[in-house]
Chain A
Amino acid sequence: MNSMAIEVLTPRYGIAWYPWAVQYFFMIAVSYSALLLTVPGLIFGNKNYQPLARVALLVTVTCTLVGPVALLADLHQPLRFWHFYANLNTQSWMSIGSLLLPLYLVMVLAYAWLAWRPAMQEQAQEPGWIGKLSGWISMGSWQAPRWMLVLAGLGALAFAFGIMLYTGAEVAILKSRPLWHTNWLPVMFVLTGLVAASGLVVLINRLMTGNDEEINRQGLKVIFVSMALAAVVAALWVSEGITGFSPSVEAAFESLQGNAEWRMVAIYGLAVGIVLTLATIAMLRRPGWMTRAWIAGLLAVHIGWTFRWMVLMEVQTVAKNTAGYYQYAVEAGSSGLLGIVGTFGLWLAALLIIDILVPWKKGLQAGSH
């Protein structure tokens, strides 16, 4: 068609999911990924992985507690959250999620409670309010058999897979946004979740458990493998677009062609991904570099979070019906910056409170065998 069109008049549509959504998707992905990291040490009782499991469990619990808060905040009518249960519509992925999430939370708390309980019981012998509180929390001095821990862990794991599935499907089923409408998206959520969770574990290892080398090595390995798999997935997604017809890839290329900002972001994402992957290789190869693993950890957390920001926020700026892109600038208020900072603040508070109350660095229940 040899004519040019200009859109003269069209309304601007605001974004409908706020940064709270990014916070939820980030927290919950770190939560289920960190839960996976506890499996070898805690559920299988493999001694080599117990230090890793210790840190990962702390990450799991804190993120599991904070995630749902962010989710609630993303509702425009948060006080109506009980409608989810009063007006169940199990045909909606979001509704399925509203059923899975509390069960997941309960199972994770049960798992952590059983894992931390022996140390809590020990602490209960101490004088003072911490001892008293530990007594209450550990609910008596009876010994919980190991199978209870394993059972709780497997239960949490089962719901974790449910969370992976629903958070991915919820977004990926939306045909209206071609960029989201690909089966690779849920896979990418899980892989980048593993990257971020391992990164956070490595970071906390640096800050709270004395930069344990074994934890660093195991964390870096998970980051490396997940990054490599993410690269494969990205390649498959693109090749799907080249060899066949994939509206998702087509929409991505359209945005890259038409928008300089997107080009910048794509180049940045690629660069950071390559840097992180190379850094993990270097650190794993050169023993002396391992002490700097926290730098890779920081980068890994950044990648996991930014991926969700790009997917959930930036994609919303692509006009569905009209030409061009919406400008989205993060607002200062609770639906923007305050929400982002607030979620991280809440997470930090949860971390510190647990650190004060729970002697989580001591041997876990699995370690007593």
Chain B
Amino acid sequence: MDKIRRALLGQIAKLTAGAALVPLSSLASAGINDQPPRREGDPSKRYAMLIDLRACIGCQACTVSCHIENEAPLGSFRTIVSQYEVEHEETGDIATFMLPRLCNHCDNPPCVPVCPVEATFQRQDGIVVVDNDVCVGCAYCVQACPYDARFINEHTQTADKCTFCAHRLDVGLLPACVESCVGGARIIGDLNDPDSQISRMMKEHYEDLMVLKPEMGTSPHVFYLGMEERFMSRPQAKPAIWDVRTQEGEEIGYEFDGH
């Protein structure tokens, strides 16, 4: 049963990666919880990211450079690389699996329509951003994102998330994570430009691309190459780091236990 479901989800994932190329922006309407019209940004572009997991070595250079570039508070991350250890039950062989996570800049972002003050919005180039001067910090968007890509920044007390480094893209620079990626695993670009590297790679690997949690209907625009189906949704894995506790249940050396 579980296998069948997973296989099914795998199919959906591939299909959604394809469907994502049809822009949803045209479907915006005005019912409750429908997507509001996009605003700002270059309407001729649609930014997206392709992550070639085969090239990711799990060094967390992206995590660190993003943290420095975007000044996220300690313990909060706009991007992070989840790391899994997979042990073969019979042979005992161990393999590691790296999964960089960030905001998917979904084409149907559930975080946007819930915002009661329109502080969170999608630009016409597809980037989902937060206007921190408007945000009231209700955290509704944090709840609505299926990917835990948002958090309340404890310094600004407003919603915070990956912006594809829009401030860098707008002046012709690459996002900090892309710039610092050792393996060149992160490729960002404009899907509307058929000659961009991302468009070419998407065409080439069309069959093998996957997105996270396709069943949520969010149409993510971060595409993964070399993805394993079992990690697509909430993985059935043993959480290791939270088990670092003493007999009395007290944490031993968890770095960010500051609050």
A→B interface (CB under 8 Å): 1-14, 16-17, 74-77, 80-81, 83-84, 86-98, 169-170, 173-177, 316, 319-327
Contact = CB atoms under 8 A, between A and B. Distances in A.
12 contacts: A5-B236, A6-B85, A9-B80, A9-B82, A10-B80, A11-B75, A12-B256, A16-B142, A75-B137, A87-B134, A92-B32, A97-B116
Interface in B214-253: 216-217, 230, 234-242
Contacts of B213: 321
A7 B32 contact: no
A3 B256 contact: no
A84 B117 CA distance: 6
Interface string B40-63: 000000000000000000000000
A11 B73 CA distance: 13
Contacts of B34: 91
Interface in B59-88: 75-77, 80-88
Interface in B142-160: 142-148, 151-152, 157-158
A77 B87 contact: no
Contact of A9 (B81, B145, B158, B217): B81
Nearest to A171: B143
Q: What secondary structure prevails in chain B residues at the interface with A?
A: loop
B118 A4 contact: no
**Lowest 7 CB-CB distances: which A-B pairs, in order?**
A76-B137, A324-B239, A16-B139, A95-B116, A176-B146, A5-B237, A16-B142
B204 interface: no
Given A9-B82, A322-B234, A16 B136 contact: no
Nearest to A82: B136
B237 A323 contact: yes
Given A175-B146, A321-B148, A89 B89 contact: no
B148 A75 contact: no
Contacts of A176: 110, 143-146, 216
A17 B143 contact: yes
B155 to A, nearest CB: 11
Given A77-B135, A175-B146, A175-B217, A87 B117 contact: yes
A87 B135 CA distance: 10
A3 B89 CA distance: 5
A81 to B, nearest CB: 7
B123 interface: no
Contact of A3 (B87, B113, B146): B87
B238 A7 contact: yes
A3 B116 contact: no
B259 interface: yes
B138 interface: yes
A106 to B, nearest CB: 20
A6 B82 CA distance: 11
B115 A89 contact: yes
Contact of B148 (A13, A74, A98): A13
Contacts, number: 197
B143 A177 contact: yes
B12 interface: no
Nearest to B82: A10
Contacts of A90: 32
Contacts of A17: 139, 143
A101 to B, nearest CB: 12
B113 A92 contact: yes
Given A1-B230, A2-B88, A6-B240, A91 B31 contact: yes
A77 B157 CA distance: 6
B18 to A, nearest CB: 21
A16 to B, nearest CB: 4
A17 B143 CA distance: 8
A12 B75 CA distance: 8
Contact of B116 (A10, A94, A321): A94
Contacts of A86: 117
Given A76-B158, A323-B234, A174 B143 contact: yes
Interface in B120-144: 134-140, 142-144
B238 A5 contact: yes
A75 B77 contact: no
A91 B111 CA distance: 12
A77 B158 contact: yes
A230 B259 CA distance: 38
A310 to B, nearest CB: 16
Contacts of A175: 110, 146, 216-217
A7 B148 contact: no
B33 interface: yes
B189 interface: no
Contacts of B254: 12
Contacts of B136: 75-77, 80-81, 83-84
Give the one of A2, A4, A74, A173 with max B CB within 10 A.
A4
B116 A84 contact: yes
B90 interface: yes
Nearest to B113: A91
Interface in B92-117: 96-97, 101, 110, 113-117
Given A75-B138, A98-B116, A323 B146 contact: no
Contact of A74 (B87, B90, B138, B256): B138
B147 A321 contact: yes
Contact of A320 (B87, B117, B146, B241): B146
B89 A4 contact: yes
B118 to A, nearest CB: 4
Nearest to B238: A6
B32 A96 contact: yes
